[in-house]
Amino acid sequence: MNEIITTFAQALEKADVKPDQVCVPSDILFEPETVKRFGFDYFHTTRGRAIAFGTGLKLANPALKVVPFAGDLMTIGGNHFVHGSRRNMELTVICINNFVYRKIAGKSAPSAAQKFSPYSTFEEPFNIPHLGNSCSAIYTARWTALHTEELAASIAEALGKKGLSVIEILAPGPDYYTGISKVNVDLVRFYYDNSEIRNNEDPKNVGIKPDSRIIVGKFTSKERPTFIDQYNAQLSSVLGEKFIPHGIRSGADPGGKNGGD
Amino acid sequence: MKADPSGVLTGTHNISGNYACAEGALAAGCRFLGVYPIAPALEVSERFLQRAKKVGATFIQMEDEISTLAAVIGASWTGKKSMTVTSGPGLSLMMEHIGLGIMLETPCVIVDVQRVGPGLGLPSQPSQGDMMQARWGSHGDYELIALAPSSSQEMFDFTIKAFNFSERFRIPVAVMSDEYVAHLQEEVVIPRAKDITLEPRRYFDGPIGSYLPFKRDEDLIPRMVDIGQGYKFHVTGLTHDDRGYPIMNEECQEYNVHPLVKKIRDYTDEIIEVQEVNIEDADIIIISYGVSSKAALKAMEQARGLGLKVGSLKLVTVWPFPEKRVAELAGKVNAFVVPEMNFGQVVLEVERCSYGKSNVFFIPHGGKGVEDTEDILKAINQAVQDDRIIDRIVELR
């Protein structure tokens, strides 16, 4: 997991985004000292609600780069993801998919491929990039945690885009009870070795299936007005000059301290 | 700190409780409203949005009340005063983030325009059925502050008060309105901005790198910073230390959570407010809050007209409950009469705090409309006749 944070920090550098401007709401607990070293503000929020939390952050201070790290994205967070994508809130959603509830032995997630575990995985899984794309997310990609260069490039590209991007990362989570930084490297290696890069593949074809290769890559990238763009356009058209566009003046006030704008 | 004039609509207005609530929020400096539409709370967001354009406030309609309060808490950490408004079914969904707001010690205001429950209940009828849920609904130990307005003017005043408490104590504060107060059209006097005193957020101003998000001042309140100022802070909803790092042991649980309760319990004298009328010579005191206190005051006047020594104690702050004051009065009066628009919630607190020294007569009210003055008068009469000590709440039907 720390490796993902490191890759994320590289992506920030690549995208020329200062960590000061970055806020990470996350339902995943990283090692706090590691997070702190990279210099962004970090909220460990309720399960699955990182996007909802991030929506408030971004709207109340549009100068921020908000990067929700999501674990329970397809379960508790499913509706937030669907609506965040639809609204095109400016969020770079990083979904860490490890197929399981790591702290609860044997419980597989709704993003797990069928037959992923011998007893509990028989339901059809979510195809996260496809779901995001269907709900009008502007950028979708999937990488394994070991595709560090490609992943950093994808995150950097997504950070430069205006709207909701989703990047799925296949990774084994840290096992809480055996030490926070202990990672099952063999499993990531297995995902990496069994992956196939297919950039620009139609996301509907990238579902993870048993006994077939895992398709990774940057799948879609498009442009669409963001929530704040549409909010300003709509209210300006109705109210004319009386309306102060949101995010323009507070952009000059990154602290957001002058709450009155 | 005085109010920002851009949000204050100084003057005398004839507006509903819901509109007055939106005006109170804007006067208090609220610049972020997150909502999920629900009756009978709709007009608060309607009014807020009408006025938002002039004051530069922001509004979002989220996908549910869970995400609404999450967004409100997020917005509050950017330095904007933030609020949400809902009704019973929405309050139920908000419980998760009331807990997070308590744990992250985030100032925010939750307005609950109560309607009849449980379940979907009667969306267009008033109730006071969420009082205990507001106090105990989220899991774990906590204290919060809840205010109960009974008029449009109080909707305005108490919304400002709620923002002040939320900043002073870094806590979510609930304004427990109801459908009746929400839609009652009354005169509201909005003072000049310079006559509205606001509690400023207590900011940390030390050097970057030295900020500890949960390091408490002497009065147990930690200082805040805004996101994006470069303080690089880490906070978590798990049990945490001063740095906001999760620490999974019993010592830290005590260290972290006990002050969450103490920071309110040690300051109840500052927080609790009651309005007392004719208490000095009273044999019987009507304890009421919210819209029920309108009927209570009228019943008191009528009883006085009949020569009965009846007083009224109206709770402005329902939580924390004014247990000291009720206990003081318990030895001195024969009975408390409690009209409530539910089947018995705050009356349990009245009974607890009277320690068996005074009788407690309860007038339940299940739904349609508001408490009837006649019912309160009947209860007063029964309390006068029945002056032996009864070891349980007497529920009148």
Examine residue B261 and state whether it is found in any structural domain, yes or no.
no
Top pLDDT among B363 and A250 is at B363
Give one DSSP letter per residue of B191-237, joined into a string: --GGG-B-PPP-B--S-TT---TT-B-TTSPBPB--TTSS---EEES
CB pairs under 8 A between A and B: 169
What domain range is B184 assigned to? Answer: 5-195
Mean pLDDT of chain A: 86
| Three-state DSSP state, B140 | coil
How many residues does this entry show for chain A? 261
On the CB side of A24, CA atoms within 13 Å amount to 30
- Distance (Å, whole) CA B393 – CA B364: 11
Cα separation, A72 vs A111, whole angstroms: 10
The answer to whether the CB atoms of B234 and A32 lie below 8 A apart is: yes
| Spatial separation of the C-alpha atoms in residues B262 and B243, rounded to whole Å | 20
To the nearest whole Å, the CA of A27 is away from the closest chain B CA by 9
Label residue A248 by pLDDT band (50, 70, 90).
Answer: low
pLDDT at position B237 is: 95
Asked if the Cβ–Cβ distance from A23 to B228 is below 8 Å, we say yes
Q: Which helix (H) or strand (E) holds A237?
A: helix A227-239
Please state which of the ranges A5-9, A238-242, B22-26 shows the lowest mean pLDDT: A238-242
Domain co-membership, A8 together with A98: yes
**pLDDT band of A158, cuts 50, 70, 90:** very high
Amino acid at B5: P
Whether the Cβ atoms of residue B108 and residue B84 lie closer than 8 Å to each other: yes
Q: Is residue B255 included in any domain, yes or no?
A: no
Cβ–Cβ contact B394 with A under 8 A: no
The pLDDT assigned to A117 comes to 67
Whole-number pLDDT of residue A172 = 76
Q: How far is CA B255 from CA A200, B236, B320, in A?
A: 52, 15, 22
pLDDT of res. A242 = 76
B31 lies in the same domain as B157: yes
Q: Note whether B258 and B294 are within 8 A (CB).
A: no
Task: Mark whether A254 and A192 lie in a shared domain.
Answer: no
How many domains is chain B built from? 2
Q: At B123, phi and psi to the nearest 5?
A: -60, -25
Residues A216 and A169 in one domain: yes
CATH classification at residue B316: 3.40.50.920
Statement to judge: residues A166 and A245 lie in one domain:
no
Q: Is there a contact between A148 and A7 (Cβ–Cβ < 8 Å)?
A: yes
The answer to whether position B314 is within a domain reads yes
Average pLDDT along chain B, 397 residues, taken 10 residues at a time: 95 97 98 96 94 88 97 97 98 97 98 95 93 96 97 98 98 97 96 98 94 96 94 94 95 97 97 98 97 96 97 98 97 95 96 94 89 94 85 82
Residue A42 Cα distances to A60, B18, B84, B110, B212, angstroms: 16, 36, 23, 24, 13
pTM: 0.93
| Cα of A137 to nearest chain B Cα, Å | 16
Residue A4 in 3-state DSSP? Answer: helix
Q: Which helix (H) or strand (E) covers residue B30, if one does?
A: strand B30-35
Domain check: are B77 and B171 in the same one?
A: yes
Which residue in B has a C-alpha nearest to residue A50's C-alpha? Answer: B70
Q: Is residue B267, in this structure, part of any structural domain at all? A: no
Same domain, A241 and A191: no
Model confidence pLDDT, tens digit, residues A75-123: 999 999 999 999 999 999 999 988 777 655 556 777 777 776 666 678 8
Cα separation, A20 vs A40, in Å, equals: 6
Residue A103's pLDDT is 58
Do A189 and A244 lie in one domain? The reply is no
Choose one of B139, B162, B195: the last residue of a domain.
B195
**Is the pLDDT assigned to residue A252 strictly greater than 50?**
no
Alpha-carbon gap, residue A24 to A20, rounded angstroms: 11
Residues of A in contact with B64 (CB under 8 A): 79
Q: Specify if B171 maps to a domain.
A: yes
Q: Is B210 on the interface with A (CB under 8 A)?
A: no
- A35 lies in the same domain as A154: yes
Q: Are residues B172 and B302 in the same domain?
A: no
Show residues of chain A in contact with B229, CB under 8 Å: 20, 254-255
Confidence category of residue A260, pLDDT binned at 50, 70, 90:
very low
Q: How far apart are CA B41 and CA B182, in angstroms?
A: 7
Q: Do A79 and B64 touch (CB under 8 A)?
A: yes
User: Per the domain annotation, does B266 fall within a domain?
Assistant: no
Same domain, B185 and B323: no
Q: Is B46 domain-assigned?
A: yes
**In sequence order, what are the residues at sequence separation of 6 or more whose Cβ sits closer than 8 angstroms to the Cβ of residue A161?**
A138, A139, A221, A223
> Residue A211 is part of a domain; what is its CATH number?
3.40.50.970
Cβ contacts (< 8 Å) between B66 and chain A: which residues? 49, 52
Same-domain status, A124 and A249: no
Q: Are residues A258 and A219 in the same domain?
A: no
Around B90, how many Cα atoms within 13 Å sit in the side-chain half-sphere? Answer: 27
The ipTM (two decimal places) reads 0.91
Residues A250 and A131 reside in one and the same domain:
no
> Of B139, B168, B195, which one is at a domain's C-terminal end?
B195
pLDDT tens digits for range A177-190? 444 445 567 778 88
pLDDT score of B326? 97
Same domain, B53 and B168: yes
Interchain CB distance below 8 Å, B66 and A249: no
The domain of A220 spans 2-224
**Tally of structural domains, chain A:** 2
Residues A98 and A151 in one domain: yes
Q: Is residue B377 part of a domain?
A: yes
What is residue A124's DSSP assignment?
Answer: P
CATH number, domain containing residue B155 = 3.40.50.970
Residue in A23, A59, A249 nearest the CB of B60: A59
Query: Which residues numbered 41-100 in B keep a CB inside 8 Å of some CB on A?
Result: 53-58, 60, 62-64, 66-68, 70-82, 96-97, 100
